[in-house]
Structure 1
Amino acid sequence: TSSLDLNAIAAFTRRPEDVVGLHFFSPANVMRLLEVVRGARTSHEVLASAMAIGRKLKKVAVVVGVCDGFVGNRMLFQYGREAEFLLEEGATPQQVDAALRNFGMAMGPFAVRDLAGLDIGQAIRKRQRAILPAHLEFPTVADRLCAAGMLGQKTGIGYYRYEPGNRTPLENPELASMLAAASREKGIERRELEERYIVERTIYSLVNEGAKILEEGIAQRSSDIDLIYLNGYGFPAWRGGPMFYADSVGLDKVLATIRELHARCGEWWKPAPLLEKLAAEGRTFSGWQPDRAG
């Protein structure tokens, strides 16, 4: 669903005001989150009906706007890409996953990808490469795994190896050479990465993209983004969600790190204008409202 343009679908109908999106999360009978997607011409009545359906299904329904990935998966794309870049810099999947579990995430990004299937991510990357500017570089480790037929739990091997009938992630003995080759091709000298760096590199990518989403009006308020990540992506509840977490760290400190990453890692890390504005004014995401954004 999050790969579909709801407005394009609505444009083919005679009743675009009746078109609304319901983006469930897998497995839908377990996951509480429901993104209710409001198109450019979705009526208030239809939106209210969709929210009522969400409540009847005992879901946490959050209104989002139309863009590639909506809110949750659009942000997840940034998070996953940065996790993969860490592998090229010198980390292993075990190190990255452990750092983010220690932060409080329910699962590490590579365990999640093995569970979902690496071919799913490959399809998303192919689509993204076709629509994003050519100067934005992508990591290559996942492509190497897919080319070798290592698609995660469904094939018994991906970022990790799995014994038959057992989901416990074990070391993939073939991965080390793949990581070394990926680093060598990009001229990267592999190095030991600190846990704090791993967490900031991934979590702050969520924050920066979340700020862009707020400014674009795809999410109405920062608490909506936090609800999405608490209920759909295993973000630790005690940290309050990515935007609340950024507020608690201090947006000036978050921005300073993002600027460092922008200088070191390139255009993926261009700071969101809203983040820059709020940090300069000593404000927070939770205190920001669209009608006072200017």
Structure 2
Amino acid sequence: RARDTVAGNLESLAKRGRLPEGLAPLDEMLRTSTRMADVAGANLIIEAVWESMALKKTVFGELDRHADADALLATNTSTLDIDEIARSTARPESVLGLHFFSPAHVMGLLELVRGERTRADFVAAGLDLGRRMRKTTVVVGVCHGFVGNRLFIARDREAVRLLYEGALPEQIDRVLTEFGLPMGTFDLADMGGGIELGYRARQDRGEVEPVGDRLFLAGRLGQRTGKGFYRYEPGKRRPLPDPEVTQIIEAVSREMGIERRRFTDDELRERLILPMINEGAKLVEEGMVLRASDIDVVWQKGFGWPDWKGGPMYHADRLGLAAVHERLLALQERHGERFRPAELLRVLAAQGRTFTGELAADTAAA
């Protein structure tokens, strides 16, 4: 199956004229095996199994037994703790994260996750790999979701809360696409298998999200099953609002004792975008990125953030950090601690400074 997938991808690239001339036959470039011992001799090994910590630790324990002593051991995890994975080996200094955005042969972004003990020369090797693969590579630290998914998770958790309070998937997604993003939260979940991925991740963590859980248990897994947060006509990918989903959401609201209400688009946009900015500020504050603009690069290259808005942190600078801080305080007062402004945001707002240093708030307002 892996060989067929690679062959299909190469064939597709060839039809579009995107393969170099004189490329060796696939059989000369690719060797497949189901035996872990066959990783011996490789100088770089990238694990890409299911997003389960227990499974990944098992795999890295096996890699530790069979890989060459100087091999670089990389994980493609999109959220999990690289340092915990590394501790399942006797050589944590050889482990780092290489998070390729999906589909990996198309997307131009690579998050290189540097672990607590990752060797500097292995980080350099990862950067060189990204360069040779023509990827934009951003070095990030170890935290849940790294850079791209940490902001993504903050936004999507708020999107689910908005469902509980009265919004519907189609309204939330429309607000995000009108903002300039290529897809909304729930449309993307249907396309990328997010309902099943989210359910299994919550099962591993012992968590519950009643809307997503009910969709999964009802067999509503997204486009591939013809229904998820939306319904789909046979052979079509256009998301259509589904009264059955509305009924599920409204039932959850009743059970949670939440009185549903109407939202304006401005309210939704604020509650979806400002948590992303705040999470980005925390990443800078925690030293997870070298500079705020790295967050913008990740979101432009990996998630399709509109170029004319420059990325979440640049967008915050355009809004004015004092205004962002003020709105987060108002949201905190109304909705709770999840909206508490990051300390760095408070400091920069008070000093009249910006995240990117490229645009002062008073210039943006002019």
2:339 aligned with 1:282, yes or no? no
> Take 1:111 and 1:2, find their aligned partners in 2: how far apart are those partners?
20
The residue type equivalent to 2:312 in the other structure is P
Normalized against structure 2, the TM-score is what?
A: 0.73
> Take 1:271 and 1:129, find their aligned partners in 2: how far apart are those partners?
28
Aligned equivalent of 1:69: 145
How far off its partner does 1:129 sit? 5.6
> Take 1:139 and 1:254, find their aligned partners in 2: how far apart are those partners?
29
For residue 326 of structure 2, the aligned residue among 252, 256, 259 is 256
| CA spacing shift, 1:61–1:97, aligned 2, 3 Å | same
Aligned equivalent of 1:133: none
Contact 2:79 2:149 in 1 (8 A): no
How far off its partner does 1:115 sit? 0.9
How far off its partner does 1:128 sit? 5.3
> Take 1:235 and 1:173, find their aligned partners in 2: how far apart are those partners?
30
> Take 1:19 and 1:278, find their aligned partners in 2: how far apart are those partners?
35
2:127 aligned with 1:51, yes or no? yes
Contact 1:85 1:139 in 2 (8 A): no
* Larger displacement relative to structure 2 (241-250 or 261-270): 261-270
For residue 188 of structure 2, the aligned residue among 93, 99, 112 is 112
> Take 1:157 and 1:123, find their aligned partners in 2: how far apart are those partners?
18
Superposed CA deviations along residues 150-192 of structure 1, whole A, max 9, x for unmatched, are 1111211111001221111112120121121122222222222
Q: In the TM superposition, what are the counterparts of 1:72-111 in structure 2 within 5 Å?
A: 72-111=148-187
The residue type equivalent to 2:185 in the other structure is P
> Take 1:41 and 1:56, find their aligned partners in 2: how far apart are those partners?
25
* Larger displacement relative to structure 2 (57-66 or 174-183): 174-183
Aligned equivalent of 2:44: none
2:306 aligned with 1:230, yes or no? no
For residue 5 of structure 1, the aligned residue among 66, 81, 93 is 81
Q: In the TM superposition, what are the counterparts of 1:131-142 in structure 2 within 5 Å?
A: 140-142=210-212
Identity %: 51
Contact 2:100 2:111 in 1 (8 A): yes
> Take 1:185 and 1:212, find their aligned partners in 2: how far apart are those partners?
34
CA RMSD of aligned residues (A): 1.7
> Take 1:105 and 1:129, find their aligned partners in 2: how far apart are those partners?
32
Q: SS state of the match for residue 224, structure 2?
A: coil
Aligned equivalent of 1:23: 99
Aligned equivalent of 2:200: 123
Aligned residues: 281
Contact 1:5 1:66 in 2 (8 A): yes
> Take 1:250 and 1:208, find their aligned partners in 2: how far apart are those partners?
13
Gaps of 5+ in 2: 1-76, 359-366
The residue type equivalent to 2:131 in the other structure is R
> Take 1:230 and 1:128, find their aligned partners in 2: how far apart are those partners?
30
From the CA coordinates, give the structure whose radius of gyration is larger.
2
The residue type equivalent to 1:99 in the other structure is V
Aligned equivalent of 1:149: 219
Contact 2:115 2:141 in 1 (8 A): yes
Aligned equivalent of 1:38: 114
The residue type equivalent to 2:150 in the other structure is R
> Take 1:240 and 1:127, find their aligned partners in 2: how far apart are those partners?
36
> Take 1:266 and 1:246, find their aligned partners in 2: how far apart are those partners?
21
How far off its partner does 1:127 sit? 4.6
Normalized against structure 1, the TM-score is what?
A: 0.90
Q: SS state of the match for residue 151, structure 1?
A: coil
> Take 2:315 and 2:206, find their aligned partners in 1: how far apart are those partners?
31
Aligned equivalent of 1:134: none
| CA spacing shift, 1:57–1:2, aligned 2, 3 Å | same
